[in-house]
Amino acid sequence: MHFKTIGGVALAASLVATTALADAGKLTVFDWSGYEDPGFFGSYVEKHGGPPSYTFFGSVDEAFTKLQSGFAADLAHPCSDAVRKWHAAGLLQPLDTSKLKNWDALLPEIKNVDGVTIDGEVWMMPFEWGNTGLIYRTDKISDDEISLQLLADPAYQGKVALPDGAMSSYALAALATGNGANYTNMTDEQFKAASDFLRSVHPNVRFYWADAGQMDQAMASGELDMGWAWNQSELNLIWNGTEAKMMRDVDKGVATWVCGYVHLKSSTTPTDQVYDLLNALSEPASGKYIIESWGYPHANEQAYPISDQAIIKQYGFDDPNAFFEGSLFFDAVNPELEAKMLKEFERIKAGF
Amino acid sequence: MNLRSETAKGTALSAPATLYVGLLVAAPLIILIAYSLWTQTYVDLDRTPTLANYREALTDPLVRHLMIRSILISAAVTVVTVALAYPIAYFIALKAKKKTLWLLLITIPFWSSYLLRVFAWKLILGFNGVMNSALLALGLIDEPLTFLLYNEFAVVLTLAHAWAPFAILPIFVSIQKIDPSLLEAATDLGSNKLESFLRVTLPLTTQGIIAACLIIFIPTVGDYVTPSLVGGSDGKMIANLIQVQFGAANNWPLGATLSLLAMLSVGFVAIVFVIGASTLGRRIR
């Protein structure tokens, strides 16, 4: 009898838990892999008894293709440069900022990014931002020596990696040729200069990385000396004990990106639950977690004072304005130029 | 009456397959052709039929370059695989005692996923991979070799390994079908071992060799995973360009056109090969 009671209680408890989980899991998020980390949305789990369900994509382009061919989810996680395209394709519904508890606490610079607001309505809640920059082995190249132009130096044949993404590589090329400010709207001449720069780097390229892990491992093993990559790679290398860092000097050239969550038109979960997750993601506590455990700066400015100050200083997150003003910003590139970049980049990679 | 029921029986028997093939081959092919005649405009499709995609693809030197490279890589894979497979098939069919065990052993590569096998080659050929570590440890080289990975060589090696069983099995079957009395007759008529191989065994197994070549050549031309993981920029193939059209470039019509052109090229090369090889086989006989 005694056993039976315990069994009954356990059964009842597990039933409650399963129902809560099922409800929590009804909310589906289409995301980069890794972002299902429960540290990002603690208060959602507290309220709904479980995490949302995640489906993953490998790149924003892949996500776009999948959504356009009918894949349904509640939220998705693109970067700001893709939002105009997603909006034009009719995939998004606007966000109601009055329901976003932390909206006022988000860094004002980030809220002003192109793509967050289109035609007076808000389409993306910024979540995290970061840099794309030149990561180099400090034991092989000195801080004075390093520059974007060094990528094309014949001394580094086979020691360089570029991303297998036209936009990111062209951002690098625009910076290296002194046209960083015109990246989204380059003239034909500037575009040619950027393409020529990438062509001059091509003989040095060991591979065009498609996943950051490939690039991190090659940097750590000594296969590469330099690579154009995200700050995540820099941190992985530092945590791995490799002497490497990102060139963050805005005068020498570094890029900044912002990613966030968008509410999809195909969403079927009650709006309140969707906003519960958005509010959990944008809380200062989630921000502290992503800063300390992932090394990504968060969108909420209240996250910074409560995080480990040494880390904040080391990664240069103490002065976001320096990046926002001095670096190339990954805004949406004019669609015609984007098509040209994609086409030309395939040629460059093939050695044409 | 009898004839009609025969026809009815035949139709009934082939109906499931016809339906299946119709749905899974013919329908996608029609969709592909339709797409290739449309145009991508930013996020929408312009459905006015046009041959612009074909014009663009056929005049683009990059497409030609990648298509030719894909065919050459696949041809190399086919030659390497079939040349290595023939002796194994020969051994199993004519000399081995435990044929079933041997055939089972040959299928072992299939017990792990294709993707894992590609990654395994990446680990073997990599900068700090098995091969380089071994050579360094033996003192044969001072610095890791970098020409092992990220080029056509790595693609050919990986594909040849992955597809080996497909070559062995059809050749094995064709060798096993040979009537041993024919070989005895050749010996009786004074042929030595090499002569009886060249004039009896080889011509009689032409069909098996052709089958093996086609089974390897056709799918490897369109392989996407291997070149993208071990090919680097020198080892990229046409499928990688097609993937870009369906992904980053978001230009499905052009991607469909490239796919169709790839199919036509493969079909053309395969037909020329079959005709050539059959003629050659008959001539030896």
Per-residue pLDDT of A323-344, as tens digits, reads 788 889 899 899 999 999 999 9
Residues of B in contact with A61 (CB under 8 A): 247-248, 250
d(CA B245, CA B226): 18
Per-chain mean pLDDT for chain B: 92
Rounded mean pLDDT, B7-18:
91
* Res. B246: pLDDT tops 60: yes
Rounded mean pLDDT, A198-209:
96
Which three-class secondary structure state does DSSP give residue A205?
strand
| Cα A122 to Cα A90, A92, A257, B177, B240, distances in angstroms | 14, 10, 18, 72, 36
The candidate with the shortest Cα–Cα distance to A231, out of A134, A332, A164, is A134
pLDDT of amino acid B6? 86
Residues of A in contact with B246 (CB under 8 A): 65
d(CA A303, CA A297): 9
Question: Looking at the structure, do residues A208 and A337 belong to the same domain, yes or no?
Answer: yes
Question: Looking at the structure, do residues A33 and A138 belong to the same domain, yes or no?
Answer: no
- Return the structure tokens found at B249: 């470039």
Give the count of domains, chain A: 2
Contact A342 B249 (CB under 8 A): yes
pLDDT of amino acid B238? 96
pLDDT of amino acid A2? 46
d(CA B122, CA B113): 14
Comparing A5-19, A23-37, B195-209, B226-240, the range with the smallest average pLDDT is A5-19
* Res. A1: pLDDT tops 50: no
d(CA B208, CA B84): 14
A319 pLDDT tier (thresholds 50, 70, 90): confident
Nearest by CB to A207, which of B42, B150, B249?
B150
Residues of B in contact with A343 (CB under 8 A): 249
Question: Looking at the structure, do residues A336 and A252 belong to the same domain, yes or no?
Answer: yes
pLDDT of amino acid A4? 43
Does A65 contact chain B (CB < 8 Å)?
yes
* Number of helices (H), then strands (E), in chain B: 15, 2
ipTM confidence score? 0.85
Exposure string for B206-238, b = 16+ CB within 10 A, e = fewer: bbbbbbbbbbbbbebbbbebbbbbbbbbbbbbb
Domain extent, residue A114, equals 2-129+257-326
B148 pLDDT tier (thresholds 50, 70, 90): very high
The DSSP annotation for A225-270 comes to SEEEEEHHHHHHHHHTT--EEE---TTT--EEEEEEEEEETT--S-
Residues of A in contact with B247 (CB under 8 A): 59, 61-62, 65
pLDDT of amino acid A21? 56
Exposure string for A165-185, b = 16+ CB within 10 A, e = fewer: bbbbbbbbbbbbbebbeebbe
Question: Looking at the structure, do residues A308 and A159 belong to the same domain, yes or no?
Answer: no
CA R_g for chain A? 22
Which long-range contacts (C-beta less than 8 Å, at least 24 apart) are formed by B147-150? B149/B122, B149/B125, B149/B230, B149/B232, B150/A206, B150/A207, B150/B230, B150/B231, B150/B232, B150/B233, B150/B234, B150/B235
Question: Looking at the structure, do residues A204 and A231 belong to the same domain, yes or no?
Answer: yes
For residue A308, what is the domain's CATH number? 3.40.190.10
B19 pLDDT tier (thresholds 50, 70, 90): very high
pLDDT of amino acid A15? 46
- The distance of A268 to chain B (nearest Cα, Å) reads 24
Which of B43, B59, B131 to probe by mutation at the A interface, max A CB count within 10 Å? B43
> Does the pTM exceed 0.90?
no
Question: Looking at the structure, do residues A6 and A114 belong to the same domain, yes or no?
Answer: yes
Does B67 contact chain A (CB < 8 Å)?
no
Tens of pLDDT, residue by residue over B28-73, are 999 999 999 999 988 889 999 999 999 999 999 999 999 999 999 9
d(CA A21, CA B121): 42
* Nearest chain A alpha carbon to B133: A221
* Res. B278: pLDDT tops 90: no
Does A306 contact chain B (CB < 8 Å)?
no
Contact B43 A88 (CB under 8 A): yes
Per-chain mean pLDDT for chain A: 91
Tens of pLDDT, residue by residue over A95-140, are 999 999 999 999 998 998 889 999 999 999 999 999 999 999 999 9
Sorted by where each begins, the domain ranges of chain B are 54-284
Q: Which residues contact A132 (CB under 8 A, 6 or more apart)?
A: A168, A171, A172, A228, A229, A230, A231, A254, A255, A256, A257, A330
Contact A206 B232 (CB under 8 A): yes
Rounded mean pLDDT, A257-279:
96
Q: What's the CATH fold of domain B54-284?
A: MetI-like fold (1.10.3720)
Question: Looking at the structure, do residues A86 and A136 belong to the same domain, yes or no?
Answer: no
| Cα B12 to Cα A197, B5, B6, B19, B22, distances in angstroms | 64, 10, 10, 11, 15
The candidate with the shortest Cα–Cα distance to B218, out of B157, B252, B256, B167, is B167
Q: Which residue has the tokens 């999948």?
A: A66
Phi/psi of residue A205, nearest 5 degrees: -75, 125
* Res. A210: pLDDT tops 90: no
Question: Looking at the structure, do residues A335 and A226 belong to the same domain, yes or no?
Answer: yes
Question: Looking at the structure, do residues A343 and A211 belong to the same domain, yes or no?
Answer: yes
* Res. A8: pLDDT tops 50: no
Does B42 contact chain A (CB < 8 Å)?
yes
* Res. B78: pLDDT tops 80: yes
Contact A222 B61 (CB under 8 A): no
Rounded mean pLDDT, A258-282:
96
Which of B40, B56, B155, B244 to probe by mutation at the A interface, max A CB count within 10 Å? B244
pLDDT of amino acid B216? 96
